[in-house]
Structure 1
Amino acid sequence: MHDRLSAFRYRDFRFLVAGTASSSLGNSITPIALAFAVLDLGGSATDLGLVVGAFALADVVTVLFGGVLGDRLPRKLMMEGSAAGSALTQAFLATSLIVGFGTVAMLGIVGALNGCLSALSQPSSRAMTRETVPPEHLPSAVAGRSLLQTGAATVGYAVGGVLVAVAGSGWAIGVDALTFAIAAYCYSRLRVPHSVPEGERASMLADLGDGAREVLAHPWLWLLIGQAMLYHLFYGGAQTVLGPIVVGDEFGRSSWGWAMATLMAGFVVGGLVCLRWRPRRSLLIGTVLLSLTALFPIAMAVSEHLWIVLVGAFLHGFGLQVFDVFWDLSIQQNVAPDKLARVYSFDAVGSFVARPLGLALTGPIAVVVGYQEWLLVVGCVMGASALLALTSADVRNLTRRTPIETPPEPVTA
C-alpha cells in the first residue's frame, strides 16, 4: 500500500489533488441544482438543454486556447485564476437565485462563462500532475488523482439532490462556489517551477499547429482520440436520453438511479485496481477493457432483469476508468513536456466535439429505429471501435516506462 500511495508523500501533489477533488465535488452538485433552478424559473426542457449546451459549447470552443496558454504561461496561474473566477461567477449565480433576480437567460450566460473558465484551466490541470511528483511516482499520481476525483464526483451526485431538496438550488450552487474557492487556495499553495518557454513566441495559431503535429506524431494518440469521438457521439445520447426512458419504463424510475450509482461504483473500483496494477503494456490492457463499455447499452436493450443492467453498468464504469488511467499515464510519459497542455486540449476537443450532435440526434433516430434497437447499435459501435483500435501495433506495443527508483525528496511543511 505504501508504494501505491507513494505520490501522496509529495506536498505539491497533495495540494493538487485536494484542489481538483474539491472542484469535482462541486461540479457534480451543480448540474442537479441547475436543472431544478431552470424549472423553478419556469423554463422548459428545451431551455434546460440550451443552458447546459451553452456550457458545453463554450468549453469545446475555448479548450484549444487553454492548451496554448497552458504551455505559454505558468500552469499554476492558469489553474488558480480559473478557480477563483469560477468561485466568483458561481457565487453570483447562487446569490441571484437566493435573492430572486435570477433568470433562465442569466443561467445560460453565466454557464457559458463558466465553460470558458473551465476550458482555460483544464489542460494545465491535467499537465500539472507531471510537475508535482518525480517520474518514478507518476503511475501512483495518475491513479490516485483519478480515484479521488471520481470519489468526490460520486459524493457530489449523491448529496446534490439532497441539497437541492433541503436548501434549494441557489444554496446548492453556493456550495459549488465554495469548492472552487477551496481549489483556488490549494492551487495557490503549489510550489512548482514556472516552466515557461524562453525566446520569441510564435503566434497562437502556430502553437496550435505544433500541438496538432505532436498528436499526429503518435499514431496511438490520434487513433484513440478518434475512438473517443465515436464513443461520445453514440453513448452520450444513449445514457442521457434513452437510458432513463428504457430502464425507467422497464424497471421503475428509481432503477435508473441504481444504474448510475452502480456505474460510479465501477469507476471507484477501477481506480482502486489501478493503484496496484501496473501492467507493462498498459495501453493495450486499457483498450481491451474499454470494450467492456459496450455491455451497458446492450444490457439495457436486451435484458429483462435489472441485475444484468447493473452488471453492465458496473463493467462499463470499471473498464472506462482503467482505460482513462492508463491513457492519461501514456500521455504523461510519452508527450513532450512543453506540448503537454496542448495535447490535452486536442484530446478534449477531439473526444467531446461530437457529443452535442449525438445528444441532438439520439432522440429522432431512436424514434425511427426503435429504442432497444438503437441501444444495440450503440453498444456494437462502442465495442467494435475499441477492439478495432487494437489492430494498430502502436496501441498494442506501447509500453509503460519504468524509471529507476530514486529516494523521495523530503516533504516540506
Structure 2
Amino acid sequence: MAPVTDLATRRPALRAVLGHPAYRYLVAGTTVTALGNAITPVALAFAVLELGGSATELGLVVAIFAAAEVVTIMFGGVLGDRVSRRLMMRGSATATAVTQTVMAVSLIGGWATIPMIAAIGMLNGCLGALSGPSSQAMTRQTVPAAELADAVALRRLSSQTAQVLGFAVAGMLVAAFGPGWAIGVDALTFAVAALCFGRIDVSGAVRAGADDASDEGSGAAAEGAAARRSMFGDLREGAREVLRHTWLWLLIGQALLYHLFYGGVQGVLGPVVVKDRWTEAAWGWALAALMAGFILGGLISLRWRPRRGLLVGTATLSLTAAFPLAMALSDSLVVLLAGAALHGFGLEIFSVNWDLSIQQNVAEEKLSRVYAFDMVGSFVARPLGLVLAGPVSALVGMAPWLVIVGCVMGGTALLSTLLPSVRRLERRAT
C-alpha cells in the first residue's frame, strides 16, 4: 500500500488538471447538475406525499424513473461510442431543463398529479440514461494520462461537494417554498450545465491513452465502421469487454445486490422513517451528512494512492451498512448522521478506485459501453427494490428490514474482497 503523500505535493498536480479548459467545463457542468439533482429527490418525495401518496406509491414513482434509466442506458452507451459525447451531454441537459420546468410549474400551479409526476420522471430517466455513459467516459478525453487519477478524484469531489450543499438546503427549501420551487432550481442547473457542455472542446487535446478517439468518434473510418455495425453487435462487443475483466463483472454483480436492497431505503423508507421520528428537514440533514462523508472520502483519495486501490475501496464499501443500521437501531439524530457519513465515506473511497480501475483498463473506443453495462448491472434491480420496499417493510417491520439491508450491504462487500481478481488488480503508476 503506497504511503500517504503530503497535500502540498498534490496542489501543483491539481492546478495542472484544472488548466485544461475542456476539463473545467466538464467539471462545471457536472457540478452544477449535481447541485440540482441533490435537491430533487427530497422535493419529489415530499411532493408525492403532499399529493396524498403512500410509501408504496412513492416507491412506484421512483421505480418508474429507475426503470426508464435501465431500459435506455444501453442505447446511451452505444451512442456515446458512436457519436459526439459532448452532443449527448448537451442535448440531454437541455431537454431535462425543459421537463423539470414543466414539473415545477405543475406543482407550483397546483395541477400536478402523481401519474403526471411519474410520467415526467420516466422521461427524465431516459434523458439521463442517454448521456450518463458519455459523461463518465468524457473525463479521459479531457486530460493527459498522467493526470487521469487527479481528474477522476477531483471531478467526483466537486460533484459530491455540490450535492452536500443541495441536500443541506433541500429540506429547508421544501419546507419554506414547497417542492415545486425546489424542482425549479434543478431545472435551472440543467440549463447552466447545457451551456457548459457546449463549450467543451477536445479536438486538440492530449488525452489519456494512446488509442483514444476524438469527441466526434474515431474519425471518418470509425464512423463508417459504426454505421456497418448493428446496435446489438456493438452491445455484444461491449459485453465481451466486460467479461474479459473478472473483477469488473463480479463487482457489477455485487453492486446489483447493493442497489436491490439499498435503493428502497434511500428512495422510500428513509424519508418515511426520518420524518416520523424527527422532521422533514432531518432527512435533508441525513443526506447532507451522507455527502459530507463523500467529501471526506474524496479529499483522502486526492492524497492516498493505495497500490491495490480496488481492494481497499471494496473493503471500505462495507461501511455503507452503517446508514440503514443507524435508522433501524437508534433514536439519536447524531447516530443517524454519523451512520450516513460513514456510508458516504466508504462508498466514495470505493467509487474513486472503481472509476479509475475502469478508466485505466478499458479501451477508449469501448469505454461508454462498459460504463453503460456498469450502470445497468448496478441499477437493473433497483426498480424492483423500490417497488418492494414498502410492502416488504410492512410485512416484516421497518426496523427488522433495515437491519437485513445493512447486513446484506456490508456482508457482500466484505465477501468481494476475497475475490483474487479484486485483490490482485493494481493501480497503474502515473
**TM-score, length-normalised on structure 2?**
0.86
Alignment of 1:23-172 (within 5 A): 23-39=33-49, 41=51, 43=53, 45-99=55-109, 101-172=111-182
Distance verdict in 2 for CA 1:106–1:367, change over 3 Å:
closer
Q: Shift of residue 226 of structure 1?
A: 0.5
Structure 2 runs not aligned, ≥5 long: 1-10, 203-213
Q: Show the counterpart of 1:410.
A: none
Give the letter aligned to residue 225 of structure 1. I
Residue by residue, what CA displacement relative to the aligned partner does 1:13-46 show, whole Å, maximum 9, x if unpaired?
Answer: 1100100011111112223333444455555555
Distance verdict in 2 for CA 1:84–1:306, change over 3 Å:
closer
Q: Contact 1:5–1:275 (CA<8 Å) still a contact in 2?
A: no
Q: Quote the Cα distance in structure 2 between the aligned partners of 1:300 and 1:224.
A: 26
Q: Quote the Cα distance in structure 1 between the aligned partners of 2:359 and 2:276.
A: 43
1:380 and 2:407 matched = yes
Alignment of 1:343-358 (within 5 A): 343-358=370-385
Residue by residue, what CA displacement relative to the aligned partner does 1:280-305 show, whole Å, maximum 9, x if unpaired?
Answer: 21111111111121233334444565
Q: Show the counterpart of 2:346.
A: 319
Give the letter aligned to residue 230 of structure 2. S
Q: Contact 2:262–2:405 (CA<8 Å) still a contact in 1?
A: yes
Which one of the candidate residues 189, 199, 206 is aligned to 2:224?
Answer: 199
Tell which deviates more after alignment, 49-58 or 75-84.
Answer: 49-58
Distance verdict in 2 for CA 1:324–1:45, change over 3 Å:
same
Q: Quote the Cα distance in structure 2 between the aligned partners of 1:237 and 1:72.
A: 35
1:186 and 2:186 matched = no
Q: Quote the Cα distance in structure 2 between the aligned partners of 1:362 and 1:101.
A: 28
Give the letter aligned to residue 29 of structure 1. I
Residue by residue, what CA displacement relative to the aligned partner does 1:253-276 show, whole Å, maximum 9, x if unpaired?
Answer: 765554333222111111111111
Residue by residue, what CA displacement relative to the aligned partner does 1:80-124 show, whole Å, maximum 9, x if unpaired?
Answer: 111111112222333344455544333222221111110000000
Q: Show the counterpart of 1:298.
A: 325
Q: Contact 2:167–2:287 (CA<8 Å) still a contact in 1?
A: no
* Secondary structure at the counterpart of residue 200 of structure 1: helix
Q: Contact 2:60–2:387 (CA<8 Å) still a contact in 1?
A: no
Tell which deviates more after alignment, 360-369 or 10-19.
Answer: 360-369
Q: Contact 2:171–2:280 (CA<8 Å) still a contact in 1?
A: no
Q: Quote the Cα distance in structure 1 between the aligned partners of 2:83 and 2:316.
A: 36
Residue by residue, what CA displacement relative to the aligned partner does 1:121-156 show, whole Å, maximum 9, x if unpaired?
Answer: 000000000000101111111111111111111211
Give the letter aligned to residue 105 of structure 1. P
Q: Contact 1:5–1:144 (CA<8 Å) still a contact in 2?
A: no
Q: Contact 1:84–1:184 (CA<8 Å) still a contact in 2?
A: yes
How large is the RMSD of aligned CA atoms in angstroms? 2.4
Q: Quote the Cα distance in structure 2 between the aligned partners of 1:52 and 1:134.
A: 38
Q: Show the counterpart of 2:209.
A: none
Q: Quote the Cα distance in structure 2 between the aligned partners of 1:165 and 1:371.
A: 25
Q: Contact 2:78–2:231 (CA<8 Å) still a contact in 1?
A: yes
Q: Quote the Cα distance in structure 2 between the aligned partners of 1:46 and 1:113.
A: 21
Tell which deviates more after alignment, 84-93 or 362-371.
Answer: 362-371
Number of aligned residues? 403
Q: Quote the Cα distance in structure 2 between the aligned partners of 1:303 and 1:95.
A: 39
Structure 1 runs not aligned, ≥5 long: 404-413
Sequence identity (%): 61
Q: Shift of residue 70 of structure 1?
A: 0.5
Q: Quote the Cα distance in structure 1 between the aligned partners of 2:401 and 2:231.
A: 42
Q: Quote the Cα distance in structure 2 between the aligned partners of 1:86 and 1:246.
A: 30
Distance verdict in 2 for CA 1:305–1:109, change over 3 Å:
closer
Which one of the candidate residues 252, 264, 289 is aligned to 1:262?
Answer: 289
1:335 and 2:345 matched = no
Q: Show the counterpart of 2:26.
A: 16
Residue by residue, what CA displacement relative to the aligned partner does 1:293-329 show, whole Å, maximum 9, x if unpaired?
Answer: 1233334444565544433322211010110111001
Tell which deviates more after alignment, 186-195 or 319-328.
Answer: 186-195
* Secondary structure at the counterpart of residue 212 of structure 1: helix
Tell which deviates more after alignment, 385-394 or 218-227.
Answer: 385-394
Residue by residue, what CA displacement relative to the aligned partner does 1:230-278 show, whole Å, maximum 9, x if unpaired?
Answer: 1111222234444456666667776555433322211111111111111
Q: Contact 1:19–1:182 (CA<8 Å) still a contact in 2?
A: yes
Q: Quote the Cα distance in structure 2 between the aligned partners of 1:175 and 1:227.
A: 34
Q: Contact 1:75–1:125 (CA<8 Å) still a contact in 2?
A: yes
Q: Quote the Cα distance in structure 1 between the aligned partners of 2:389 and 2:376.
A: 20
Tell which deviates more after alignment, 164-173 or 246-255.
Answer: 246-255
Give the letter aligned to residue 179 of structure 2. S
Tell which deviates more after alignment, 394-403 or 193-202.
Answer: 193-202
Alignment of 1:248-259 (within 5 A): 256-259=283-286
* Secondary structure at the counterpart of residue 13 of structure 2: coil
